[in-house]
Amino acid sequence: MAIFDLHVHTVRGSSDSSLTPEQLVNEATRLGLSGVCLTEHSGGWEQPEFDQAFEDAGLAVIRALEVDTDMGHILVFGMHRYVAGMHKASELRKAVDNAGGVMISAHPFRNFFNRPPYNTNLLFPKGRQIPESASDAANHPLFNLVDDIEVVNGSNTSQENSYASDVATALGFHGTGGSDVHSAHGLGKGVTIFNRDIKSESDLVEALKAKHYSPGFRDGSGNVHSLVDSPQAQLPN
């Protein structure tokens, strides 16, 4: 088994993050995480500096991306660089397929339940018809492009996470978890639990494609719960 935080930002690749590599490794080790994915906004890490920063980490640290597209933010695994046109989700899908990677919709329903003018959801912006149910929301064209959706995001509200989980169920997706941290605080609040060891990027991509995982979260006492084993558990705020 492996417990991963699939959604982490550091100072190296995300200008809005204060999390240093040293802080990341120390906190991930303290929490007992098997690994983390650096889903940087700008790509960030070149291989030599990545190797130097994490060669003695004692856990799996994997490069990834968070891409801002015309259909919201998408986590990409198996690619390390931006390519022309990938701000369009359909073009990103082609690039990820060419790389043999995986696409996961990040926090798809963030701000969805906020009152105006703070309800700026990226999938259903102002002027677009708002879905009446999770089943209706599942018809959004984004979900025909991605491999899964993030259903536990440590920076989302419990309502946003629960709705994402309902949409994932309607789509027949497993759902993933990640903290979306930009500092050491909250690392591992959302996790993805794999039923096999993950030691490398290729292990991770293979397990994601094979659906050998479940979403999970860490409660206030530090215990990790799988949504599969505890479907009625309270998702984190």
pLDDT in tens, 93-103: 999 999 999 99
The CA distance from 130 to 153, in Å, is 22
Q: What's the number of domains the chain is made of? A: 1
pLDDT tens-digit map of 155-190? 999 999 999 999 999 999 999 999 999 999 999 999
Q: What is the DSSP string of 203-215?
A: HHHHHHHHT-EEE
For residues 14 and 10, give the distance between their C-alpha atoms in angstroms, rounded to a whole number: 6
- Per-residue model confidence as pLDDT tens digits over 96-142: 999 999 999 999 999 999 888 888 889 998 756 789 899 999 999 99
Tell me if 68 is assigned to some domain. yes
The C-alpha torsion from 51 through 53 and 59 to 63, rounded to 10°, is: -60
108 belongs to a structural domain? yes
Percent of the chain whose predicted confidence (pLDDT) is above 70: 95
Whole-number pLDDT of residue 217: 93
- Whether 231 is covered by a domain: the verdict is no
Q: Which residue has the tokens 């006492």?
A: 221
pLDDT of residue 233: 54
CATH, residue 75:
3.20.20.140
- How many other CB atoms sit within 10 Å of the CB of residue 11? 18
pLDDT at 230 over 80: no
Distance between CA atoms of 21 and 3, rounded to whole angstroms? 19
Q: What is the span of the domain harbouring residue 39?
A: 2-226
pLDDT at 162: 95
In a domain, 233, yes or no: no
The Cα–Cα gap between 95 and 86 comes to 7
Is residue 44 over pLDDT 80?
no
pLDDT for residue 143 is more than 80: yes
**Is 163 domain-assigned?**
yes
Average pLDDT of the chain is: 91
Alpha helices of the chain — where are they, by DSSP H? 21-31, 47-54, 89-99, 134-137, 158-171, 201-210
